[in-house]
Structure 1
Amino acid sequence: MTYLFIYGTLMPGLRLEAEMHGARFVGPAQVPGRLFDLGRYPGLLPGDGHVTGEVYEVDDAHLARLDGVEGVVPGDRAESHYWREVVPVASGPLQGQPVQTYVYNRPVDGCTPIPHGDYRRYIREVGRES
C-alpha cells in the first residue's frame, strides 16, 4: 500500500473523483510546493509554499491506473505529463511522513500561479467547474 497525496481533479466533488473509488481516505494534508492553474486541472511543482489536498492509501494496481490517468510513462520521465515523487507531509495526520504525489512535468510559463495552494478554493474564487 502507498500513501498518495492528491490536490486537484481527483479530489471528491471534482471531475475525476471516480478514479479514487476504492482508495482509503487518510485525511486532509498539506505538502510543500507551488500550485499552478493549467487550464482544466492544476499542477504542483516543488518550491516554497504549501499545497492543500488529501492523503489516501492506494494499492499497487490502483496506483498503476492513476499513473495512466496522470500521463505517467513508466520509466520515461521525459515523456510523462506528470511524474510521481515522494514529498513530506507538512500538516495533517501524517505530518512529517513521506507520501507520493503527482508533480507536473512540463513548463509552466504563462500559467497562472495559485498563491494559496488550494485548488478547490481557487476554482470557487474564479467561478470555474472542475
Structure 2
Amino acid sequence: MRIFVYGSLRRKQGNSHWMTNAQWLGDFSVDNYQLYSLGHYPGAVPGEGSVQGEVYRIDAATLAELDALRTARGEYKRQLIQTPYGSAWMYVYQRAVNGRTRIESGNWLDRTPT
C-alpha cells in the first residue's frame, strides 16, 4: 500500500522517523487541496490549490502506527487519492481552519516557522 505525506512525516522533518521502514517512491502534488499551518505540523483540507508531498510504499504495521498518530483524536481522516505511483492514502484535516495561516505554495517546507 502507499501513502502520501505532506508535512512533518516528509524527509528531514520532525516526524520522519515514523517513515523509517517506508520506501520512498517520489514527489507528488495533489490538486484541489489547501495547506494550513497548525503550529508544528500542517493540515490539508479540500479547496482550490494543491499540496506538495511525497509518496511512500508502506506496510500494514506502519499504516496502523500512522493511524494512531494522526486519527486518534479525530483531527484527520484517511482518504484515498490517485498518484502516478498508484492509489495512496492521504490524511485530510477534519477541523476548522479559521484563523490558521494558509501556506499559499502548498509546500510545508515553505512555511514561516512559528
TM-score in terms of structure 1 length: 0.81
1:82-113 Cα distance to aligned partner (Å, 9 max, x none): 11001233xxx43xx43210000111111011
> Hey, what does 2:2 align to over in structure 1?
3
Q: Is the 8 A contact 2:6 2:52 kept in 1?
A: yes
> Hey, what does 2:18 align to over in structure 1?
19
- Which one has a larger percent strand, Structure 1 or Structure 2? 2
1:22-37 counterparts in 2 under 5 A?
A: 22-32=21-31, 33-37=33-37
- Residue 40 of structure 1 aligns to a residue whose secondary structure is coil
Bigger radius of gyration among the two:
1
2:97 maps to which of 91, 108, 113: 108
State the one-letter code of the partner of 1:88: Q
> Hey, what does 2:80 align to over in structure 1?
86
- Residue 44 of structure 1 aligns to a residue whose secondary structure is strand
State the one-letter code of the partner of 1:42: P
The runs of 5 or more residues in structure 2 that have no matched partner are none
- Residue 66 of structure 2 aligns to a residue whose secondary structure is helix
Q: Tell me the distance in 1 between the aligned counterparts of 2:67 and 2:9.
A: 12
1:49-128 counterparts in 2 under 5 A?
A: 49-70=49-70, 72-73=71-72, 80-89=74-83, 93-94=84-85, 97-122=86-111, 126=112, 128=113
Q: Tell me the distance in 1 between the aligned counterparts of 2:104 and 2:23.
A: 29
- Point out 4+ residue stretches in structure 1 off by more than 4 angstroms: none
Q: How many residue pairs align between the two structures?
A: 113
Identical counterparts, % of pairs: 35
TM-score in terms of structure 2 length: 0.91
The runs of 5 or more residues in structure 1 that have no matched partner are 74-78
Q: Tell me the distance in 2 between the aligned counterparts of 1:46 and 1:87.
A: 12
